[in-house]
């Protein structure tokens, strides 16, 4: 990413298993391709022996710490809370530095918590994958980011439905949108087509078109305000 000199990338402070965290940073670290060969053997051994599993965990942790040491933003390490859970006061010096990307994957961010993200006027990428509390109400709040936001991922959010996706049309600058694996969307294929229609200049990742089309009659919208409620 061609980030300007004074930019800041934030990730969720918890490294849950390292999967998303490292994956998200793979652009910065050396690609993991060369490790692929050994991985299946390591996986097999890890399944059989506890020692190997522990060793692998250790390696992973070492790799993560390497990431921390290598990636300094403006000469700083990752900004994380100290042992007592407080952020160092140096953090305040970075207030003027614009934030370009936020990876809040798996984060327990909710409607109120979005306040802090909406203040970021130069936010270009926002990952909200598998956030359990992100719902349609949250999506309706994203419109202040419209002019800067280019990439948004909502994959795996259990509470996002097509009703919330409909108001993403505010984000006219969006180039990439990930709406795959949303269990609350009733007909994913049709929804994807409609979202693509709504945001013509945006690449939409999501369910296969045929997925919803096979459902046939179930695509018909439910008449929620109909005269004969159940």
Task: Give the closest residue to 146 by CA, choosing from 128, 120, 112.
Answer: 120
Q: Which is nearer to other proteins, 33 or 226 (CB)?
A: 226
Nearer to other proteins, 12 or 204 (CB): 204
Residues 178-197 as x/- pattern, contact with other proteins by CB under 8 A: --------xx--xx--xx-x
> Is 171 an interacting residue with respect to other proteins (CB under 8 A)?
no
Helix axis angle, 36-48 to 50-70, nearest 10°: 140
Residues 63-102 that bind other proteins (CB under 8 A): none
The answer to whether the CB of 135 falls within 8 A of the CB of 160 is yes
Q: Does position 124 bind other proteins by CB under 8 A?
A: no
Mark the segment that binds other proteins (CB under 8 A) among 16-24, 43-51, 74-82, 138-146: 138-146
Q: Does 170 bind other proteins (CB under 8 A)?
A: yes
Residue 222 is a binding residue for other proteins (CB under 8 A) = yes
Residue from 103, 151, 162, 178 binding other proteins (CB under 8 A):
162
Span interacting with other proteins, options 12-20, 84-92, 161-169, 175-183, rule CB under 8 A: 161-169
Q: Does 132 bind other proteins (CB under 8 A)?
A: no
Q: For the chain, give the DSSP string.
A: ----SS-EEEE-S--STTHHHHHHTTTTSPPGGGGHHHHHHHHHHHHH-HHHHHHHHHHHHHHHHHHHHH--BTTB------TTSPPPGGGGGGGGSPEEEEE-TT----TTTHHHHHT-TT--EEE-TT-TT-BHHHHTT-GGGTTT--EEE-TT-TB--HHHHGGGGG-TT--EEE--S-TT-S-HHHHHHHHHHHSTTSEEE-S-HHHHHTTGGGGSPP-TT-SS--
Nearer to other proteins (CB atom), residue 92 or residue 230: 230
Q: How far is the CB of 218 from other proteins (least distance, A)?
A: 11
Q: Which of 99, 148, 169, 215 is the binder for other proteins (CB under 8 A)?
A: 169
Binding site for other proteins (CB under 8 A): 111, 136-137, 139-141, 143, 162-167, 169-170, 186-187, 190-191, 194-195, 197-198, 219-227, 229-230
């Amino acid at each position: 990413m061609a980030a300007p000199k004074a930019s800041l990338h934030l990730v969720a402070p918890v490294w849950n298993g390292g999967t998303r965290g490292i994956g998200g940073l793979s652009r910065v670290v050396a690609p993991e391709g060369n490790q692929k060969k050994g991985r299946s053997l390591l996986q097999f051994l890890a399944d059989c022996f506890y020692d190997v599993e522990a060793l692998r965990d250790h390696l992973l942790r070492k790799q993560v710490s390497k990431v921390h040491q290598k990636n300094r933003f403006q000469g700083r390490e990752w900004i994380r809370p100290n042992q007592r859970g407080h952020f160092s006061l140096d953090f305040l010096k970075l207030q003027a530095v614009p934030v370009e990307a936020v990876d809040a994957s798996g984060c327990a961010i909710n409607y109120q918590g979005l306040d802090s993200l909406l203040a970021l006027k130069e936010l270009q990428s926002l990952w909200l994958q598998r956030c359990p509390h992100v719902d349609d109400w949250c999506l309706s709040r994203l419109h202040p980011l419209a002019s800067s936001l280019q990439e948004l991922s909502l994959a795996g959010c259990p509470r996002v439905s097509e009703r919330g996706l409909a108001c993403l049309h505010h984000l006219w600058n969006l180039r990439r949108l990930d709406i795959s694996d949303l269990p609350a969307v009733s007909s994913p294929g049709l929804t994807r087509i409609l979202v693509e229609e709504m945001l013509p200049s945006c690449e939409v990742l999501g369910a296969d078109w045929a997925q919803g089309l096979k459902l046939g009659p179930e695509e018909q919208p439910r008449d929620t305000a109909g005269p004969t409620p159940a």
